[in-house]
Amino acid sequence: MKRFSVSSLTAALSAWRRTSLRLLAGAVLLQTAACSFAGEDAVSIAPPQKDEMVSTSGTETAVLAGGCFWGVQGVFQHVQGVKKVVSGYAGGKADTAQYERVSEGDTGHAESVEITFDPSQVSYGTLLQIFFSVAHNPTELNRQGPDHGTQYRSAIFPESPEQQTVAQAYIAQLDAAKSFSAPIVTKIEQYNGFYPAENYHQNFLTAHPTYPYIVVNDLPKVGQLKQLFAERYSEQPVLLKTSM
């Protein structure tokens, strides 16, 4: 999919400035003939029948994995009530939480996002509704669009018994209602920590909106969020402050 080093990213950025998006997209497609870009269609689904109790005390975090973290981060950065979204890794150990290592697909990690949100403005259940509806396709096993491997699996990492109860009930609700054309394969996994990804991955959708992968796979998700969750949509994304 998108493997690159910092040096290759720098070179790519220079190429983007010199080349039109159309020509660049064509070049990328030729170079990745074995990998077809395929955007995911959003699905309008019912909200969860079971949700956390509304809280007005502080913030809460949610860790979700739904394929490439570029697009998932980009979607949730546009949700009202979300205070911060970090791209990173969950499911594996700290010593393998590096992009090149995770990309090998044998670390147990999934590309994930950690969402810090105000539960008085947006609930955990609503975040899951957006996750299942817009942010990714929960019926694809160990893949999302053009990306294949367990590091691109669909997973939820509950950080409390309440979050786990809401997630389990919502998956059961959606499957019972046949909300999707295939069964949901999203796994609820034990939360063992979240490890932020390298700085060059953060805010990637906003920083590189003409990158062909973003254009085809991720910008449509932001548009679908605006369409399906207009009352939740924030035009201005909440960007992560990094040292870059």
Residues serving a catalytic function are 68
Alpha helices, DSSP H, located in 47-160 = 69-76, 99-102, 124-130
Proportion of the chain in helix, strand, coil states, percent, rounded to 5: 40, 15, 45
The rounded distance, in Å, linking the Cα atoms of 210 and 194 is 29
Cα–Cα distance measured from residue 11 to residue 236, given in angstroms and rounded to the nearest whole number: 29
Measured between alpha carbons, how far is residue 22 from residues 19, 166, 209 in Å?
Answer: 8, 43, 13
Total residue length of the chain: 244
**Which amino acid appears at position 130 of this protein?**
I
**Which has the closest alpha carbon to 213: 113, 155, 144?**
144
